[in-house]
């Protein structure tokens, strides 16, 4: 009898050090990897906030040489990965450290892939395309949301196709993630909102994904609870270190869930949108989330009911249509409270763009694990609802 593998689940995670000050262990970890010269990846905003200089000082104090690369834009591009990989090679580096949001972390993953294989990053689009191990990678996230520091995803923008492509592989899970809530202090309220909602979307999509299961469900639900409870208060009190830590923890839990259960239509559609208009990833997700939940609800009513309960809705005695309405109400309320209420048309999306946006979304690997099977026409309708 053939062995049925559809119910098997696996779970990968980096070594994680969580807590205020964990970034200060960075030189220790680099030394343990035998680093001779560290390649330090970041972006201009994180450098301006002073976090890059601090890492440089820590490396110098530990007697480690380094070379710094901050040429990463908000949606990291193919060209930036290739320039970074060239610099990594010519500087003779052997360990990569990235400090920043999803963009520098994804760019660092790309630099590792290219420097190991000596080929264009464009050749690694898709699932399990990596054959040679990357150099040791240490990530320090400065936003509480993208979870590139724990995930097996790297998302790279290809401006030629106006398309963000996904690389999904165990090989892009970093070796070490130093998750330090202190470095999220320098996020402005808009970035806090965008990345916090991104984390919420990770948790919701992971919980209803066709790849969900007992290894990821607990992480997803705990992430939903933490973010639902603490994100609005954090936007109102940005200097509250305890709230910041709870959101960082929620983001990490969401990351562990989605990295292993994969995502769904919100991310497929938002990658397409972000590649087309170069918009912030979390904002794209926020604009699509309620519309995708409305579309998906009938495919897994019980799972959405548990999400509603985790978001504080007492569902006792409610029929599924009422649960759906209340859940959508809470999601739009959350979006409103954190200031992410825009519609696609306000950001420059036109009706005539929708067929091409939908075509790209259908090619994204995240559409495969969406709980409701979707045709291109289904995706078009959801974009239309969000317009």
| Residues in touch with Fe ion (CB under 5 A) | 198
Shortest distance, position 2 Cβ to Fe ion, whole Å: 35
In the bound state with Fe ion, the residue whose beta carbon lies nearer, of 88 and 153, is 153
Shortest distance, position 37 Cβ to Fe ion, whole Å: 32
Q: Give the rounded distance of the alpha carbon of 377 from its chain centre.
A: 27
Shortest distance, position 84 Cβ to Fe ion, whole Å: 22
DSSP secondary structure string, 194-238? HHHHHHHHHHHHHHHSTT--HHHHHHHHHHHHHHHHHHHHHHH-T
Burial 28-41 (b: 16+ CB within 10 A, else e): ebbeebebebbbbb
In the bound state with Fe ion, the residue whose beta carbon lies nearer, of 198 and 232, is 198
In the bound state with Fe ion, the residue whose beta carbon lies nearer, of 285 and 358, is 285
Q: Which residue has the tokens 């965008």?
A: 194
In the bound state with Fe ion, the residue whose beta carbon lies nearer, of 106 and 198, is 198
Cα–Cα distance measured from residue 368 to residue 129, given in angstroms and rounded to the nearest whole number = 17
Shortest distance, position 290 Cβ to Fe ion, whole Å: 16
In the bound state with Fe ion, the residue whose beta carbon lies nearer, of 263 and 300, is 263
Residues in the chain: 387
Shortest distance, position 289 Cβ to Fe ion, whole Å: 11
Show the tokens assigned to 151: 């995930």
- In three-state secondary structure terms, 127 is strand
In the bound state with Fe ion, the residue whose beta carbon lies nearer, of 198 and 364, is 198
In the bound state with Fe ion, the residue whose beta carbon lies nearer, of 182 and 198, is 198
How many C-beta neighbours within 10 Å does residue 233 have? 14
Shortest distance, position 75 Cβ to Fe ion, whole Å: 12
In the bound state with Fe ion, the residue whose beta carbon lies nearer, of 72 and 286, is 286
Interacting residues of 161 by C-beta distance below 8 A, sequence separation 6+: 275
Q: Give the rounded distance of the alpha carbon of 272 from its chain centre.
A: 15
In the bound state with Fe ion, the residue whose beta carbon lies nearer, of 202 and 244, is 202
User: What are the backbone angles phi and psi of residue 7, rounded to the nearest 5°?
Assistant: -100, 5
Shortest distance, position 154 Cβ to Fe ion, whole Å: 12
Interacting residues of 133 by C-beta distance below 8 A, sequence separation 6+: 116, 171
DSSP secondary structure string, 176-198? EEEE-GGGGGG--HHHHHHHHHH
Spatial contact of 243 and 260, defined as CB atoms under 8 Å apart: no
| H or E stretch covering 28 | helix 26-32
Burial class (CB in 10 A: 0-12, 13-18, 19+), 147: buried
Q: What angle do CA 278, 343, 367 make, to 5 degrees?
A: 65
Shortest distance, position 148 Cβ to Fe ion, whole Å: 9
Shortest distance, position 295 Cβ to Fe ion, whole Å: 18
Shortest distance, position 328 Cβ to Fe ion, whole Å: 20
Sign of CA dihedral 267, 163, 386, 105: positive
In the bound state with Fe ion, the residue whose beta carbon lies nearer, of 80 and 198, is 198
Q: Tell me which residue has its CB nearest to Fe ion.
A: 198
């Amino acid at each position: 009898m053939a062995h049925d593998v559809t119910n098997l689940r696996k779970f990968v995670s980096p070594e994680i050090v969580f807590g205020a000050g964990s970034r200060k262990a960075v030189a220790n970890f680099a030394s343990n990897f035998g680093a001779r010269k560290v390649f330090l990846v970041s972006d201009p905003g994180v450098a301006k906030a002073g976090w890059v200089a601090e890492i440089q000082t820590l490396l110098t104090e530990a007697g480690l040489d380094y070379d710094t690369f901050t040429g990463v834009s908000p949606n990291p591009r193919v060209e930036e990965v290739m320039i970074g990989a060239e610099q990594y090679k010519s500087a003779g580096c052997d360990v990569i450290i990235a400090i920043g949001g999803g963009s520098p972390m994804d760019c660092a993953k790309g630099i590792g892939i290219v420097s190991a294989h000596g080929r264009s990053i464009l050749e690694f689009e898709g699932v399990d395309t990596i054959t040679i191990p990357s150099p040791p990678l240490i990530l320090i996230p400065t936003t509480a949301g993208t979870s590139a520091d724990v995930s097996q995803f790297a998302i790279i923008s290809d401006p030629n196709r106006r398309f963000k492509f996904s690389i999904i592989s165990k090989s892009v899970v970093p070796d070490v993630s130093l998750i330090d809530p202190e470095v999220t202090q320098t996020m402005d309220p808009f970035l806090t909102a965008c990345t916090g909602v991104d984390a919420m979307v990770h948790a919701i999509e992971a919980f209803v994904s066709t790849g969900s299961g007992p290894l990821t469900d607990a992480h997803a639900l705990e992430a939903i609870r933490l973010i639902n409870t603490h994100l609005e208060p954090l936007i109102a009190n940005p200097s509250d270190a305890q709230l910041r830590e709870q959101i960082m923890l929620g983001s990490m839990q969401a990351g562990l869930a989605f990295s292993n259960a994969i995502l769904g239509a919100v991310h497929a559609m938002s990658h397409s949108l972000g590649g087309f208009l170069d918009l912030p990833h979390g904002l794209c997700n926020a604009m699509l989330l309620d519309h995708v939940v409305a579309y998906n609800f009938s495919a897994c009513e019980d799972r959405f009911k548990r999400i509603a309960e985790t978001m504080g809705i007492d569902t006792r005695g409610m029929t599924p249509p009422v649960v759906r309405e209340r859940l959508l109400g809470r999601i739009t309320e959350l979006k409103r409270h954190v200031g992410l209420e825009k519609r696609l048309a306000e950001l420059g999306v036109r009706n005539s763009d929708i067929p091409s946006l939908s075509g790209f979304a259908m090619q994204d690997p995240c559409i495969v694990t969406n709980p409701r099977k979707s045709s291109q026409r289904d995706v078009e309708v959801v974009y239309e609802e969000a317009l």
